[in-house]
Chains A and B, each alone.
Chain A
Amino acid sequence: MNERERPRTDTAGPAGGGTGTPDGQNVERIRRAGEEFYAAADAAIKSALSTNHATFLANSRQEGGQ
């Protein structure tokens, strides 16, 4: 389970307003929503992941600011 899927277990209850403990349905809902969300930016992410990261990150160094 990663941070995206880990629901709160306090008295406030989990995402989706369930019984107060994480359940399979809730985890599944979050996973499905995560996949749909990711798909919306899929092409941009693929493009970003194909970047030369070392060069990009070296170039991204700024000179500070306010």
Chain B
Amino acid sequence: MAEHAAVPKQCGFDAELGCFIEGSAEWPGQGPSAASALLAEIKGLPASPRVSFVSTTYGSEYSAGQGDGGESGAGYGAGHGAASAAYNPNDWGRKFLPSNGGSAYVDCNHPELASPEVHDAHEFTAMWHAMLRIAQGAWRRANTRLRPAGRRMVVLVNNSDGHGHAYGSHLNFLLSTRCFRNILHRKLHQLIALAAHQISSICYTGAGKVGSENGRPPVNYQLAQRADFFEQLTSVDTMFHRGVVNLREESHAKAALARLHCIFFDAGLCHAATLLKAGTMQLFLAMLERDEPVADVLLDDPLPALLAFSHDPMLQAKGRMVSGAEYTAVELQQIILDKAAAFVAAGKAEGMVPRAPEIIALWADTLEKLRRRDLPELARRLDWAAKLMLIEGARAQAGLAWDAPELKTLDHLYSSLNPAEGLYWALEKNDAVERLVTDDEIEHFTHEPPEETRAWLRAQMLRRMRPAALLEVDWEVIRFRAWAPEAHAPCYYALHMPDPARFSQADCNAALEAAGNFREALGSLGLQQTDYWGRALCTDDKQEDKWATTERRQS
């Protein structure tokens, strides 16, 4: 068995939000202004224009000079935006959050929320809502500062605008490099099986959408918001020629580890849909990690099957398999569930997928409700079903046709971050939808990092650093400078965190206990002295003395 056969299926998300400003007749929408104003209200680092930030994601460099994370008294004019800064449109203004170790930035004029690495699907669900709650607070503050009066920012947790534009809600999963290469390059039946799982899972992960886009056949209502936008089975692109399986190879970790960047899924709000989205992917990838046989779940032509499944909320559409059999999305999911259940029962998910039996139980119960198409029950846990119930109700009450603009408005406002406006929040407030994570768990992650991943140390570092001392923050590294007493120039340090499963609270506490203080603990966790560019210098025996002196100077 390969070295990383039991790599824990840590996961995370990077999700773009719909965002615009109402009230400007001369320039409708103003998405870029809305996105940058929202970002400016999220507290993170770097926050000073003097701090240079480098993202390994895109190799971009810029000076963060926008906002202060909610402490500025400045208002936003209608034209306020990113135009004055030199920026990469895919990754602008990125800041990391000392609160929970996550990140926020502007991506293609959308505010983007990137979670810290989380341990399990329950944490994923709580973190998803925590990041939305952080964005909700930013939205609230930004709205009070919009000028002139009468303008209003709207933030939507959705993936398409109904005008033919899609924006992503991406998931990320930790894999062994061996497994990653198997899926993408060596055992392509695993890739097709993964695509089949993703495609058929829209029966519970879809966020629901009125109408179709991107030149697809007309439809009243469909399960998934992104289904119309996938044009290839695989692709490295994310803005066009989108592939069901994304080929990006960017691990943010050491060579033995890889990250599957999944651009397929919708951003939902129902807890069960969110938990299943992450949890079933964890299990499926764990099965691939163990080389479980999956050759019986290969869709013969995945893209037409995706469209057929999505465009049929009656759940009757069938996809043809390579074997010649034809299955509905629910039937195909049942086959995958049976495999996963046996896999978990045999103990093969241990060490990879925490709380796997709970995922299996929720998965099985949801498929049973889908099999019966028990819409009242499904509406309590799946976004597409909840939205359909509400829209059908509105149609019946107001006598609206499916192409009425009122229905598209309801479609959008289902996911508005405004708690007084978003239909989902009304359902939640009135206990009409299931809650699988508590309000306390969500609130916890608005100000604390996950304990089981390197996000914990990232957050602790960001909390302790003077903002001006930070040179670089990214998922796997933090670089900063500090002054040594005998030096006439600053010393530079880098803490690399190449293993997402290390640097957890337990690891750091053990290091702290042995070292006695945080600075010395960092040394045992791998802190290196470097040159300005981050290249490691020889180990300096006096480094700890420098730290002590630095602390005195700073105090």
Contact = CB atoms under 8 A, between A and B. Distances in A.
A41 B456 CA distance: 38
Interface string B507-539: 000000000000000000000000000000000
B45 interface: no
A35 B430 contact: no
A8 to B, nearest CB: 5
A60 B21 CA distance: 8
Given A3-B314, A59-B21, A33 B376 contact: yes
Given A60-B412, A64-B165, A6 B314 contact: yes
Contacts, number: 180
Contacts of A45: 390, 393-394, 410, 423
B104 to A, nearest CB: 15
A3 B388 contact: yes
Interface in A41-58: 41-45, 47-49, 51, 53-58
B167 A37 contact: no
B373 A62 contact: no
A35 B379 CA distance: 12
Interface stretch (B107-115, B270-278, B299-307): B107-115
Contacts of A6: 314
Given A57-B405, A63-B109, A49 B166 contact: no
Contacts of B377: 15
Given A44-B423, A45-B394, A65-B108, A58 B375 contact: no
A48 B421 contact: yes
A43 B409 contact: no
Given A37-B376, A44-B421, A49-B406, A60 B394 contact: no
Contacts of A43: 426
A64 B18 CA distance: 10
Contacts of B395: 2
A47 B170 CA distance: 31
Interface residues of B, number: 70
B161 interface: yes
Nearest to A35: B393
B141 interface: no
Given A2-B392, A65-B108, A66-B90, A53 B405 contact: yes
A10 to B, nearest CB: 8
B299 to A, nearest CB: 21
A53 B210 CA distance: 15
A46 to B, nearest CB: 10
Contacts of A4: 375, 388-389, 392-393
Give the most central of B109, B162, B373, B397: most A CB within 10 Å.
Answer: B373
Given A60-B20, A61-B165, A44 B413 contact: yes
Interface stretch (B28-36, B94-102, B287-295, B350-358): B28-36
14 contacts: A3-B392, A15-B372, A37-B390, A40-B426, A43-B426, A44-B426, A47-B420, A49-B394, A64-B165, A65-B107, A65-B165, A65-B167, A66-B16, A66-B238
